[in-house]
Structure 1
Amino acid sequence: MEKIPFDPQSPETAPNPDTPKKVVKKASKKTESIKEFGQLDLPDVQSNIHCVTIVGQIEGHLTMPPQNKTTKYEHIIPQLVALEQSPQIEGILVILNTVGGDVEAGLAIAEMLTSMTKPTVSLVLGGGHSIGVPIAVASDYSFIAETATMTIHPIRLTGLVIGVPQTYEYLDKMQDRVINFVTRHSNVTEEKFRELMFRTGELARDIGTVLVGRDAVKIGLINEVGGIGQAVKKLKALIEEHKVKPKGVH
């Protein structure tokens, strides 16, 4: 039998459009995302607000063990510098759920936040303990979730401590730096903050105070009880206020 050469234009050899085609399905990006991460990719939306998260333990000059959830201050500081310079970003939302950590690293982050020219709002979720307190109050306006807690206690040192008067003097000066920063950037008085810091009987085997939600607002440490919705709404309002301010006025 003579073979007929294939001619795509020939009616005898052209594929029948009515013949069902076998479709080979490729795994979509959405499906792969569900398989790999258990989540869907969010659509890319241009926003003038950037979120900075301070979670776990604030890592400073010493590297924490790998099983610890940490926020490295050398990652946060360049990020804040970039945000300050970015023309697209008009406001910064800081989310905290931290147990504290390195005092100098925490103060460095707090000083960076409070010196930014763009509006900032902080939200304490879960916890904003220890050196997380100055970071929480460093923003222009602060929120705390109803069930979130903040622990206020004196500065502690871990590791080798040389028992000489200079060591204790250094601790006192560092503690004063924390107290002065918190009282300057919140409505709590120095007397009240020191009283909470050195209170006995509330923490097992330690001195200090745990504030829950409204308690932090009541003493003037945090501005308002609220969640993500209120925090974003307040930040948008601060951005609008910032736009109408004369340049050079903060």
Structure 2
Amino acid sequence: MPTFDQLTSIQIPVKAEEKKEDSTEMQGLTVKMLQARTLVISQGVTSELTQRILSQLVLLEQDDPEAPITIFINSPGGEVFSGFAIFDMLRFLSCPVTTIVGGFAASMGSILSLAANAGRRFAFPNAKIMIHQPLLMGYQGRATECQIQAREILKTRDRIIDIYCEQTGKDYETIKQAIDRDNWMLAEEALEFGLLDKIVKSRMELNKLLKSLS
């Protein structure tokens, strides 16, 4: 059975003309979404994604520093420090930020979903959220270098725990235990755990909630 990575990397051959049309159509869609002050993170968190998202966020704030920004998240996570860069920028902005999880927000994706302002962390009914500690990759180099890498991993884990503690109100040991494995939660479980503010089923419901916050 193919892995998730293999499935997502499959490319269907298309003609050059079709690629150009798809690219033009996607650019037009991106422009319309930016005009609506809406971003979508629907892939792994990479340096390329981070560069694009950060640039768009800066432009949106310059355009109107008080208008809200909505971010839809359906992401398996990815590079930790790329994710931290997006998270920190979202917290830095003067614009009110709303996050909505659709599908799933795993690993660093779950961190990004927590970057919204108070009361603005939402998910759809069938969404799932997964939290865990940083993955340990194969160490390379001398013993002292491996020790340094191990210490850095622990520092990163503690930073992630700090974020979950701050956003859920739970203590260090509770979060440390919660992320010692891949911890998948249904939307209702994530809400109870403190990772969400509300589960929304419709645009009307979302707008009503946001209006109450303004």
1:125 aligns with 2:92: no
The structure with the largest alpha-carbon Rg is 1
Spell out, residue by residue over 1:113-162, the C-alpha distance to the aligned partner (whole angstroms, 9 max, x if none): 11111111111000000011111011012011221111111101446544
Q: 1:102 to 1:228 in 2, by over 3 A?
A: farther
For 1:185, what is the secondary structure of its paired residue? helix
For the residues of structure 2 that align with 1:50 and 1:87, how far apart are their CA atoms? 10
For 1:52, what is the secondary structure of its paired residue? strand
Contact 2:33 2:39 in 1 (8 A): no
Which residue of 78, 86, 105 corresponds with 2:82?
A: 105
Structure 2 match to 1:218 = 192
TM-score of the pair, normalised by structure 1: 0.65
Q: Aligned Cα RMSD in Å?
A: 2.8
1:173 aligns with 2:167: no
Query: Aligned pairs, how many?
Result: 183
TM-score of the pair, normalised by structure 2: 0.75
For the residues of structure 2 that align with 1:160 and 1:46, how far apart are their CA atoms? 42
The sequence identity of aligned pairs, in percent, is 24
For the residues of structure 1 that align with 2:202 and 2:83, how far apart are their CA atoms? 23
Q: Give 1:236 shift.
A: 4.3
Contact 1:145 1:213 in 2 (8 A): yes
- 1:92 maps to a residue whose letter is I
| Residue segments in structure 1 that go unaligned for 5+ positions in a row | 1-35, 61-70, 199-206, 242-250
Structure 2 match to 1:142 = 121
Structure 2 match to 1:31 = none
For 1:126, what is the secondary structure of its paired residue? strand
Which residue of 1, 22, 44 corresponds with 1:57?
A: 44
For the residues of structure 1 that align with 2:33 and 2:75, how far apart are their CA atoms? 28
Q: 1:213 to 1:94 in 2, by over 3 A?
A: same
Structure 1 match to 2:8 = none
Report 1:1-250 matches (<5 A).
49-60=36-47, 72-87=49-64, 90-140=67-117, 141-158=120-137, 161-162=140-141, 164-198=146-180, 207-227=181-201, 229=203, 230-238=205-213, 241=214
For the residues of structure 2 that align with 1:154 and 1:218, how far apart are their CA atoms? 20
For the residues of structure 2 that align with 1:218 and 1:75, how far apart are their CA atoms? 33
Q: 1:85 to 1:194 in 2, by over 3 A?
A: same
Q: 1:47 to 1:98 in 2, by over 3 A?
A: closer
Spell out, residue by residue over 1:28-55, the C-alpha distance to the aligned partner (whole angstroms, 9 max, x if none): xxxxxxxx77x9x99x999985111111
For the residues of structure 2 that align with 1:186 and 1:103, how far apart are their CA atoms? 20
